[in-house]
Structure 1
Amino acid sequence: MNHAQELQAREGVATVVYTKPNCVQCNQTFRMLDRDGIHYSKVDITKDPAARDFITRDVADGGLGYLQAPVVFVSAVEGDESWSGFRPDKIETHITKRADAA
């Protein structure tokens, strides 16, 4: 189980947003998720070294391989999705407009 999956199981959420302070793209992501009533977990990678390691570690080594915040990790029945940066298209496709979204 990876860092995001452990957090999802503990907090009962499908979406985890890895963030850092004073991040404009992170704040835009939060606004969009909040506007659509999406429950998510927020992880500050400047305070959680394990989270920072997970999102920056190479995919071949079990990480996500990103260098830009925010990193959004979403679990769904059809499989996990992740991306970095403010991506309204991905938020709509994989979170707010999904057929099983509540």
Structure 2
Amino acid sequence: MSVTELTPRIEARDGVAVTVYTKSECWGCGKTKQKLEENSIEYTEVDMEHDQTAYLYVTETLGYKQAPAVVVSAPEGVVHWSGLQPQMIRKHITHRDEAALEAAS
């Protein structure tokens, strides 16, 4: 399966769709969701403990062993990472326009 098939296309900010693959009792998952919610970012949460296809996608296709796994689908392409990574949330979701301007200068 492709990323497009497993990543729901929910419009968030600036045409960005965010999917957060989580596990229960995951501190980083809760903090990642909190960071998105604080910035009014819509996201789709997929519980890997109850969705075997999602678990296989994260572990085998993406190659991650740590939750959460975050997949960001934007007009310019797909970016993903695992674990609590506030700098990636900022760069690719909450402040991506600012990051693009910084990279261009």
2:39 to 24, 36, 39: 36
TM-score, with structure 1 as normaliser: 0.84
| CA-CA distance at 1:5 after TM superposition | 2.3
Q: Where does structure 1 differ by over 3 angstroms across 4 or more consecutive aligned residues?
A: none
- What is residue 17 of structure 1 aligned with on the other side? 20
More strand by share: 2
In structure 2, distance between residues paired with 1:47 and 1:86: 21
**Contact 2:67 2:82 survives alignment (8 Å):** yes
- Name structure 2 gaps, 5 residues minimum: 99-105
Q: Report deviation, 1:12.
A: 4.4
User: Percent identity at matched positions?
Assistant: 42
Q: Rg bigger for which structure?
A: 2
| Counterpart in the other structure of 1:5 | 4
Once residues 48 and 24 of structure 2 are traced to their aligned partners in structure 1, the CA distance between those partners, rounded to angstroms, is 9
* 1:17-96 alignment runs, 5 A limit: 17-57=20-60, 63-96=61-94
Q: Unpaired segments of 5 or more residues in structure 1? A: 58-62
What number of residue pairs does the alignment pair up? 93
RMSD, aligned CA: 1.7
